[in-house]
Structure 1
Amino acid sequence: MNNAFKVENPNLTQSPHTGMTRHHYIELAKYMLSRAFKHVDSIETPLTFPIIPGKTYPQPNAPDWRYRSAEFEALERTFTLAGPLIHVDPEIEINNIKLRDYYKLHFYRTFTPGHANSLPLPDDLPDSNYQFTCEFGGLFKTLLLLPDTIWSQYSESEKNDMLECITKWAHHRTTQNNWRIFNIVTLSFLKKHGYPIDEELLKSHLLWVASYHSGDGWYLEQTYNYYSISLFIVYTTIWNRTFGDEYYPEIAEIIEESAKKLMKCITSFFGRDGYVNMWSRSICYRTWVSGAFPVAFMLKEKTELDAGWARRLCSGSLLQFASREEFFCNDIPSLGFYGQKEYMVQNYSCSGSPFIMFLPFICLALPEDSPFWTATENDGMWETLGEKSKKVVLDHPGLMLVNHGKTGTSEIIPGKVYYDDPNYSKLAYNTHFPWEDQNPDGGTSMEYSYRSQDPRDVRGDDVNFYLTGLTVNNSSEKNQLYTHSQNMLYNGVENDILYRQAIMRRPPNNGVGYIIDLADITLPGGVIRVDRTRMAFEHELTLGHFGLPHISGKKAEVNQFELNGNQVITAKIKGRQVALIIYHGWEKLDWLSHKNRNAEADESTVVFAYKKRMQKNPPMELMITAMLHKTNDSEWTTKELSPIKNIQINEITKTMAPLGATLTLSNGDVYEVDFKDIDGKKTC
């Protein structure tokens, strides 16, 4: 078997960019399952995968139900591939095992008491929420869409054997917001097939879910993330077509309208070649957001989304991973992004978790004459973008999406982030420069890193003790490390400038004294940052660029020089480069090699700007930088490294606000950076 998937006999007439047609989707699904089923000896063997040491579950000495959960997750999430394959070909076999018979048997054993792999009932466990609920939602979402796969194969007696387990978990306690969708799907499946349910509970879950719509097709999910697409849009659109339209048409219409809004921006999340951006939690789910593309062709009204572009992006995202050897661990998708990486996974994941990334294979439920399959691949708006950069502003979730025609990359620039978490808190996320973990020594990629030099922090005093007489723990040892923004606030877009705020320290340490006001001016292949520090006491700051992985151990090539009186640092690896220019408010440029922080390699290079301010009461200050990137090996030109023609610092702006700037770019564009009333405009 090959070490990675290869598109055999690509159809470059219908799919000139990826070669992928419906036939190749089927082949890719079979390829993935053939590797997974290397862990299955016969039809009697439950599908289990090797446990990966580290934070993921089940941990050593975990209770038995955690092992049942991991087994159920492996079975259910591989059905994300197997279900569509059975729908296409009920007789299909993988490794000489008929898929329909295998999954029919093992789901029956899972839901019927008395079998070695049967699930516990919620009554047998402490009253809480469990991973089982999530997997019930995933399974019955697929069975709502494709009931012909296995449910129709059970006898009435077999269905009755499974009913107690399914019903009790469908009605059991759920958690927060997106999880209600799992209960909704399972309850709806039961009702559709004539089984009694608590209909008031179902309606309650539906109203709760509808209440979370925030605008622009986005739903609240802790902080805004891919779950808003993959669960709130993909799962619920399937629910609409298979159940909601008939039983709850008004709520279905709410979901329908939000899905239509999402489709207006979904393409901007992907790079020109279909690359997915490594952003938000559950990184190992990777391409599950691409499930929005086939869903666009399940909407009631004809979608505005170009079918050829949709399939091109969907196919490109799958090939981003499936075509890489390092993507696989134990013959299944690794717990990471490109490869096995402990730092980027959560403790609720197990070895089988990544198979939800194949959610886009619901496309096999579309008829063969669907535009999704028949249209010719194209690059959509990229074909006319040239070297310009397109911006999409989503005020409600506080996101700005940037498509860089010059580099073919796409960026997610977040504005509403509730906590210090590199999954969310970075200044920008780029499809071709995946984020790095935070570095306590400073120089973290695409973040401001802060270290207090306040003597009270250095000593470990409570900074408020001398006012209040109350002691709050303040660790001098911990204060020696660099920290990162505790949350990000969104302040809107005015005159083509994105305004945000990074709160570097929260109360009781007087959060209003640790603010960096952010202003982003988009450039082709980069950004100009005009950021205002309101840091009340002695401190150090670093601002890091995108990290560059040392592919095959080859270090990045770093170069420092002066151009037009400004300090410049560049770094490059094959096919990718970054440049950082400091204009105002920084002392120097530097770089660090990091270990075990990058998504693609064990070592990486980050270039960064540095400053240290030791006044007891530092003044406000503007920090002006240009952060550029490339996705080729061409040399940086003087023109590229000279994006700013003139800078005028305005102590008082025209609107009577303190400390802004007027920037004239080399192309003649003029930007007035003005932080007028920024604190009154913040949202999170």
Structure 2
Amino acid sequence: MRSDAMTSSPITGWTRETWAALADRMLLGVRPYASAGHARITLPGAAGGYGSDVDGLEGFARTFLLAGFRLAGEHGRDPERLPGLAEWYADGIAAGVDPSSPERWVRPEEHAQAKVEAASIALILDLTRPWIWDRLSSSVQERVVDYLGSVVGDSGYPRCNWVWFRIVVETFLRSVGGPWSASDIEDDLATHESFYREDGWYADGDERSFDHYVGWAMHLYPVLWSRMRGATGDSGGPGVLDLAASRQDVDRARLERFLQDYLRLVGADGSPLIQGRSLVYRFAAAAPLWLGAFAGVGKPGQLRRAASGIVAHFAENGAPDGRDLLTLGWHGEWRHLAQSYSGPSSPYWATKGMLGLALPAEHPVWTAAEEPLPVERADGVSVVHAPGWLLSGTKRDGTVRVINHGTDHAVEGAQVGDSPLYARLGYSTATAPLLSTRAWGNPVDQSVALLDVDGRATHRAGMHTLRIGVVGDGAQRAAVGASVARARWVSADHEQRDHGSGRPGETRDAAAITVVSILRGSWEVRCVRVDSLPDQPGAVSLAQRLRIGGWALADQISVQSVADEPPARPGARVRRASLESVISAGDGFDEAGVHTDDDASPLGTHSATPWVAGPVLPGQWRSVVVGLWGEPEPGDGSALQREPTIVLDSERAHIRIGWPDEQWTEVELPPAPVENVPGPETN
């Protein structure tokens, strides 16, 4: 490690030059796939769901983000490895907006995806104004305005992060004397505001959609937009409303609060939480960390350590690949991770995570020494109220776990299938939800489900959150979450377009399932009760078994099942290298096993999930212990492998837990949930 890296980057070894070299390789890597005039960059692979014309526009616009960051951070000077960078992209703009060019771009009124890409183009034209926009000929500028101006008054923007695409485009147009609408921007800002929940968290739309879009969209655009020339009162003439002034302090405070939670969601190995849609954007997850530096919130050294850790995690695991290209996948290529809107150029939204390069080398975020992540400092237990998450990070293995009692990419009472990306009970930085067709239809990993006579599992999306909080202080601190779901079987159409949501289909109700999670360290104690539905009391008789699944592990070679000898009670465990997943049942369970699935995880070809099962016993509380841990040193897991001691009193609805470190937690379980069971009428 170089001396400058030792001084400023003692944890990751990544300096600004490391970042710049990666960015330049990525920009050079796409050039062989550019059209003659540079307007389209169509990367290798099957065309995306929107066709090759959109793919080519995405390739230009999303790499233009990175080119713009490089130019801004160098004050307009060409990077040594990329002479003529501004001119290369300026040529592409001229060809893209020329209606007579064979490379012309799909227009926003022709295809909705062009509205997304138009925002990236407008954002970077504003950021690099002296070096690209100001040097375009007047005729090209007029064509750019004509291309972007078609969004004004367009009512076809979905109610989600898309509102920012129109805001950004019209704000740029305002700054160059083009058409824009104050009512459009005001309406879109009001829509954005309606998505705010609490503690710095937004939902990506009206549903309970909490994922990486909170950072790389719902926080990113307000911060960058406020710095656009068209967002300030000195643009557009005297007396024109300063669009951003009234929001800046609020947006900064919300970002600061969000980052407190977000930093706790990054694993020591740099992995972001593997949850939510558009995971092919990979290290775009670093974007909100750089926003902290732009907004002047957070500790610069810790922000950069987290961002460098995220990008390094992917760079060291095959992304970009040997061609310096980003493919559809997580580490390597794995097309099952893509949504139906993803094409071969889509992964380049990852360049948002390289936003820090827009800040010059002398900025404190680059000069401050790296500081450890929360998970590197100490074990921590906390909660995030908006998405209904319990968090536990363990220093010894650097793993962050999330137990989910409030996120499903749906609304309460929705009658859809579970999306593995959102509705599972657990997510982590070391595991991924299973995403095969089998997993979408028949949940096993991180599930509590009733099985019918054919072995089909129920779904839980649309659940009602009962409790999210912390009990105990200091060493006794534990997180507690609870939810109740109207469990039902769903016969979903697996051929529908996949935007990450649970899939609709014909449903058949089963019962109410209440789940309580007590999380501390590497362990979750999961309490479960099945009750008949008040409107369909006989439906529970259709359920043959109750099955509870633990953490799914995946590997390219194999995942080892580990047998307990002799088994003290039903339970199973699986191991991948030094990572271990275990589930152990209390009274009322009589069966255990390991569910295997191939080509179901972005982390490896072969996956294995431990599970336990037992008869359906309505009205009775039962408990299982679910564990996930890694061993940094061989044999250093003896304390972890001592399972918590459970004293469950079903009649009193009370549980007492003795943890492996001899601390104790007591929790009162919720009463019969009849009045809280969400149904279709709440949707």
TM-score bin (small chain): 0.7 to 0.9
Mapping for residues 535-684 of structure 1, pairs under 5 Å: 536-537=540-541, 538-551=543-556, 553-562=557-566, 565-613=568-616, 618-632=617-631, 634-635=634-635, 639-651=639-651, 653=652, 659-666=653-660, 667-676=662-671
Match among 226, 236, 245 for residue 240 of structure 1: 226
Superposition deviation, residue 560 in structure 1: 2.8
Instruction: Give the Cα separation in 1 of the matches to 2:322 and 2:451.
Output: 38
Q: Is the 8 A contact 2:570 2:590 kept in 1?
A: no
| Structure 1 residue 74 corresponds to structure 2 residue 59 | yes
* Partner residue, 2:286: 290
* SS class of match (1:501): strand
1:183 corresponds to which of 166, 188, 205: 166
Are 1:426 and 2:424 an aligned pair? yes
Residue equivalent to 1:519: 516
- Structure 1 residues 541 and 326 mapped into 2: Cα distance closer, same or farther (>3 Å)? farther
SS of the residue 1:333 aligns to: coil
Rounded to whole Å, the distance in 1 between the matches of 2:461 and 2:648 is 31
**What is the CA-CA distance between 1:540 and the residue it aligns to?**
2.6
Cα shift at 1:95: 8.1
1:394 corresponds in structure 2 to 384
Shift of 1:483: 4.3
CA displacement 1:534-570 (0-9 Å, x = unmatched): 362232333222222233x24424223346x334422
Q: CA deviation at 1:329?
A: 8.2
Shift of 1:330: 6.5
Q: Give 5+ residue unaligned stretches, structure 1.
A: 1-6, 59-65, 454-478, 654-658
Seen in structure 2, the aligned counterparts of structure 1 residues 32 and 179 have a Cα distance that, compared at 3 Å, is same
Distance 1:139 1:586, change over 3 A: farther
1-structure distance, mates of 2:483, 2:607? 28
CA-CA distance at 1:152 after TM superposition: 2.3
Deviation for aligned residue 1:134: 0.7
Q: How does 1:402-421 map to 2 (within 5 A)?
A: 402-414=392-404, 415-417=406-408, 418=410, 419=416, 420-421=418-419
Secondary structure (helix, strand or coil) at the match of 2:7 reads: coil
Confirm or deny: 8 A CA contact 1:86 1:92 kept in the other structure: yes
Name the residue aligned to 1:447.
447
Aligned-pair CA distance for 1:70: 1.4
Structure 2 letter corresponding to 1:22:
R
Q: Which moved more, 1:129-138 or 1:666-675?
A: 666-675
| Partner SS state of residue 292, structure 1 | helix
- Is residue 2:341 matched to residue 1:348? yes
Residues 39, 48 of structure 1: 8 Å contact kept = yes
CA distance in 1, matches of 2:256, 2:677: 28
Pair 394,682 (structure 1): closer, same or farther in 2 beyond 3 Å:
farther
Residues 118 and 582 from structure 1, CA distance in 2 versus in 1: closer, same or farther, beyond 3 angstroms? same
Aligned counterparts of 1:161 and 1:141: Cα–Cα separation in 2: 17
Name the structure 2 match of 1:463: none
Distance 2:485 2:382 in 1: 21
Equivalent residue for 2:528?
531
Cα 1:8–1:160 change in 2 (3 A) is farther
Q: Residue 340 of structure 1: CA displacement?
A: 2.1
> Contact 1:549–1:556 (CA<8 Å) still a contact in 2?
no
Q: Which residue of 2 aligns with 1:57?
A: 49
Is 1:451–1:541's contact at 8 Å kept on the other side of the alignment? Answer: yes
Q: How far off is 1:83 after superposition? A: 1.3
1:87 aligns with 2:72: yes
- Partners of 1:44 and 1:263 in 2: how far apart? 37
Q: What residue in structure 2 maps to residue 106 of structure 1?
A: 92
Segment of structure 1 superposing worse, 528-537 or 179-188:
528-537
Instruction: Give the deviation of 1:663 after TM superposition.
Output: 3.3
Residue 277 (structure 2) aligned to one of 281, 284, 288? 281
The CA deviation at 1:122 is 5.1
Question: Secondary structure of the residue that 1:662 maps to in structure 2?
Answer: strand
Identity value in percent: 19
Superposition TM-score, scaled by structure 1 size? 0.84
Matched, 1:194 2:151: no
Distance 1:678 1:268 in 2: 32
Cα deviation digits, residues 349-393 of structure 1 (max 9, x gap): 1111111112122212223232211111121434541xx3x2332
Cα 1:343–1:84, aligned 2, differ >3 Å: closer, same or farther?
A: same
Give the CA deviation at 1:510: 7.2
When structure 1 is superposed on structure 2, of 426-435 and 443-452 the one drifting more is 443-452
1:493 aligned to 2:468?
A: yes
Q: Which moved more, 1:409-418 or 1:640-649?
A: 640-649
Structure 1 Cα separation of the partners of residues 38 and 232 of structure 2: 39
Letter of the 2:309 partner, please give it: G
Q: Distance in 1 between matches of 2:82 and 2:35?
A: 10
For residue 151 of structure 2, give the secondary structure of its aligned residue in structure 1. Answer: helix
CA contact (8 A) 1:407 1:631 kept: yes
Deviations 1:454-489 (A, max 9, x none): xxxxxxxxxxxxxxxxxxxxxxxxx65334323333
Which segment is superposed worse, 484-493 or 437-446? 437-446
Change (3 A) 1:504 1:329: farther
Higher mean C-alpha displacement, 669-678 vs 341-350? 669-678
Is 1:322 matched up with 2:322?
no
Find the aligned partners of 2:284 and 2:591 in 1 and give their Cα distance.
Answer: 41
Instruction: Report the 3-state secondary structure (helix = DSSP H, G, I; strand = E; otherwise coil) of the residue aligned with 1:595.
Output: strand
What is the CA-CA distance between 1:46 and the residue it aligns to? 3.7
**Aligned counterparts of 2:621 and 2:131: Cα–Cα separation in 1:** 61
From 1, 23, 40, the equivalent of 1:29 is 23
Instruction: Name the residue aligned to 1:169.
Output: 151
Contact 1:547 1:605 in 2 (8 A): yes
The Cα of 1:205 is off from its aligned counterpart by 1.4
Q: Take 2:278 and 2:248, find their aligned partners in 1: how far apart are those partners?
A: 27
Using the alignment, how far apart are the partners of 2:443 and 2:353 within structure 1? 37
Structure 2 CA distance for partners of 1:328 and 1:444, relative to 1, 3 Å: farther
Q: CA deviation at 1:584?
A: 2.5
Mapping for residues 303-322 of structure 1, pairs under 5 Å: 303=297, 305-322=298-315
Contact 1:498-1:521 within 8 A present in 2 as well: yes
Give the secondary structure class of the aligned counterpart of 1:354.
helix
Counterpart residue type for residue 337 of structure 1: W
8 Å contact kept, 1:15–1:21: yes
TM-score by length of 2: 0.84
Q: Would the aligned equivalents of 2:558 and 2:606 in 1 still touch at CA under 8 Å?
A: no
- 1:145 maps to which of 118, 127, 139: 127
Deviation, structure 1 residue 116: 1.0
Give the conservation status (yes or no) of the 8 Å contact 1:586–1:610: yes
8 A contact 2:5–2:15 mirrored in 1? yes
CA distance in 2, matches of 1:156, 1:350: 33
- Within-5 A mapping of 1:245-264: 246=233, 247-248=242-243, 249-264=245-260
| Paired residues, number | 621
